[in-house]
Structure 1
Amino acid sequence: MGTDCNLPVGPASAIHRWRAAFGAAATIGLGACAFGPSGEPPAMPVPVHYGVEPQPAQTVEALGVAQRFTIGAQPAPEWWRLFESTTLNDLVDEGLRNSPTLAAADKRLAAAHEQVRGQNRSSLLPTVDLAGQASRGRDLGIPVPGGPNTLLYNEFIGVVQAQYTFDLFGAVREANAARSARVDIEAYRREAARRALATNIVTATIDAAMLRAEIDATERSIALAGDQAHDAERHYELGSLTHGDVLAARQSMATLEVSVAELRQRLTVTRHALAVLLGRTPDAAPPEPDLASLHLPQDLPVVLPSDLLRTRPDIEAAEAALKAAAADVGVATAQLFPSLTLTASMGQGGFSWPLALSGAGAIWSIGATLSQALFHGGALIAQRRAAIDAYEAAVFEYKQTVLAAFENVADTLASLEHDAQALEAASVATRAAREAFGEAASRHRLGALPASSARSGEQQYEAARLEEIRLIGRRLSETATLFQAMGELPAASNATPEHLARK
Structure 2
Amino acid sequence: MPTHESFKPALPALLAALILSGCALGPSGDAPKVPQPEHYAVEATPPSIGPDGARQQFVLGQRAVPQWWQAYGSPDLSGWVNEALRHNHSLAQAERSLAGAKEQLRGQIDESLWPKVDAVGQATRQRALGLPTMGPPTNLYNVFAGEITASYTFDLFGVERYANSALAAQVDAQSYQFDAARRTLAANVVITAINAASLRAQVAHTERLVALADADADEMQRRAATGAVAADDVLAAKANAQSLRAGLPGMKSQWQAMRHALAVLMGRTPDNAPADLDIAALRLPESVPLSVPSDLLRQRPDILAADAALKVAAAQEALATAEMFPSLSINASFGQSGFTWPKATGAAGAVWGLGASITQPIFHGGALRARRKAAQEAYLASEDNYRQTVLNAFQNVADSLVALTQDADALQAAAAARGHSEQSWRNARRRTALGAVPPSFARAGERQYLNARLGEIRATATRLADTATLFQAMGVSIDTPAEPKKDVR
Common fold: TM-score over 0.5: yes
Query: Kindly tell me: are residues 56 and 220 of structure 1, through their superposed partners in 2, closer, same or farther at Cα, counting changes over 3 Å?
Result: same
Deviation at 1:24, TM superposition (A): 2.6
Deviation at 1:124, TM superposition (A): 2.3
1:167 maps to a residue whose letter is D
Cα RMSD, aligned residues only: 2.0
Deviation at 1:322, TM superposition (A): 1.0
Name the SS for the 2:106 alignment partner.
helix
Query: Which position in structure 2 is the counterpart of 1:441?
Result: 429
2:13 maps to a residue whose letter is A
Q: C-alpha deviations, 1:399-443, integer Å up to 9, x for none?
A: 111111111111111111110111101111111111111111111
Moved more, 395-404 or 244-253: 244-253
Structure 1 residues not aligned, in runs of 5+? 1-13, 492-498
Aligned partner (choices 52, 60, 74) of residue 63 of structure 2: 74
Give the structure-2-normalised TM-score: 0.93
Give the structure-1-normalised TM-score: 0.91
Please state if 1:306 is matched with 2:294: yes
Count of aligned residue pairs for this structure pair: 476
2:36 maps to a residue whose letter is V
1:190 maps to a residue whose letter is F
C-alpha distance in structure 2 between counterparts of 1:21 and 1:393, whole Å: 27
Query: Which position in structure 2 is the counterpart of 1:279?
Result: 267
Name the SS for the 1:364 alignment partner.
strand
Query: Which position in structure 1 is the counterpart of 2:187?
Result: 199
Aligned pairs (5 A) from 1:50-449: 50-61=40-51, 64-144=53-133, 147-449=135-437
C-alpha distance in structure 2 between counterparts of 1:98 and 1:277, whole Å: 8
8 A Cα contact 1:419 1:471, kept in partner: yes
Deviation at 1:355, TM superposition (A): 2.4
C-alpha distance in structure 1 between counterparts of 2:318 and 2:9, whole Å: 16
Q: C-alpha deviations, 1:195-228, integer Å up to 9, x for none?
A: 1111111111101110111111111111111111
8 A Cα contact 1:322 1:394, kept in partner: yes
Query: Which position in structure 2 is the counterpart of 1:494?
Result: none
Deviation at 1:490, TM superposition (A): 7.5
Query: Kindly tell me: are residues 473 and 121 of structure 1, through their superposed partners in 2, closer, same or farther at Cα, counting changes over 3 Å?
Result: same
Query: Which position in structure 1 is the counterpart of 2:33?
Result: 43
Query: Kindly tell me: are residues 161 and 259 of structure 1, through their superposed partners in 2, closer, same or farther at Cα, counting changes over 3 Å?
Result: same
Query: Kindly tell me: are residues 455 and 72 of structure 1, through their superposed partners in 2, closer, same or farther at Cα, counting changes over 3 Å?
Result: same
Q: C-alpha deviations, 1:123-170, integer Å up to 9, x for none?
A: 22211111122222233345556x323333322222111111111111
Q: C-alpha deviations, 1:238-288, integer Å up to 9, x for none?
A: 222222221221122112112222211110111111111111111111111
Aligned partner (choices 12, 31, 34) of residue 20 of structure 1: 12
8 A Cα contact 2:8 2:362, kept in partner: no
Moved more, 164-173 or 350-359: 350-359
Query: Which position in structure 2 is the counterpart of 1:496?
Result: none
Deviation at 1:396, TM superposition (A): 1.0
Q: C-alpha deviations, 1:304-326, integer Å up to 9, x for none?
A: 11100111111111111111111
Moved more, 188-197 or 240-249: 240-249
Deviation at 1:358, TM superposition (A): 2.7
Name the SS for the 1:447 alignment partner.
coil
C-alpha distance in structure 1 between counterparts of 2:249 and 2:477, whole Å: 44
C-alpha distance in structure 1 between counterparts of 2:334 and 2:17, whole Å: 35
1:98 maps to a residue whose letter is H
Query: Which position in structure 2 is the counterpart of 1:33?
Result: 23
